[in-house]
Amino acid sequence: MNNMTAPHVALVAITKHGLARALALLAQLPEAHLVVTEKFAPAIPPALPNPVKILSGALSGHMADLFSNYDQLVLFISLGAVVRLMAPHLKSKDEDPGVVVIDDAARYVIPVLSGHVGGANAFALHLAELLGAEVVLTTASDVGKTIPVDILGRELGWQVEAPKINITRVSAHVVNGEPIAFVQEAGSRQWWTRPTPLPSNIHLFDEFEKVDLSSFKAVLWVTRREISASVWEQLKERLVAYRPPLE
């Protein structure tokens, strides 16, 4: 799942007001599917162009299917209920779909699951813009307006290369404002897309050899070079590399 270039989107509504909000949103999301319980099936306009899935029985019995068949799940259901519904089906951020919760009044849009890798944060921002709603982001890199280590450069075709523990450790150093060496030897320079300045703890270099490794908690390295095992060992859990496509 998690194919954000052509997402499979499901808008899930199990209340009267939730269905009304979902129908209004569907007009702006021609690719999205509508998922409702049998109780509200008669309220669906017959000329609705979007695909419709009618659920028999409780929503909980259909969550596994929804998790398997959609990249983005948008649920017009309370946050607490959504947490309980999805808990038995969680695997990993590399496999789980993005999950976004919208309240019945469409005042708040909350990405709940797979905010970065699954694209829920980006999709929630898009939905909030369509609805004129407020998006509620809780991921540290978004709140702190700093580098999202796990998806940096994804829109530019960069591929992250590092053990998962490195991504976790380096992300913590980044959001905690510790000194980070950002080494860019290849790829587009248009990787910083936030309207705010680059955080002061991120220090830019154009060559790895220019970095005094003892002065930095972590290194983000954009390169096409082969990185030796000795360098990975030297930096242990402090290095994340990015591989840009050939230009």
| Helix runs in 55-119, H state only | 63-69, 79-86
AA letter at 1: M
Q: What percent of the chain has pLDDT over 90?
A: 73
pTM of the model: 0.68
Is 154-243 assigned to CATH 1.10.3470? no
Q: Where are the domains of the chain?
A: 9-138, 154-243
Strands 159-161 and 239-243: antiparallel
6 pLDDT tier (thresholds 50, 70, 90)? very low
Cα separation, 31 vs 127, in Å, equals: 13
CATH of domain 9-138: 3.40.50.11220
Q: What is the pLDDT of residues 154-211, one digit of tens each?
A: 889 999 999 989 999 999 999 899 999 999 999 999 999 888 899 999 999 999 999 9
Q: What is the pLDDT of residues 102-127, one digit of tens each?
A: 998 899 999 998 767 777 888 888 99
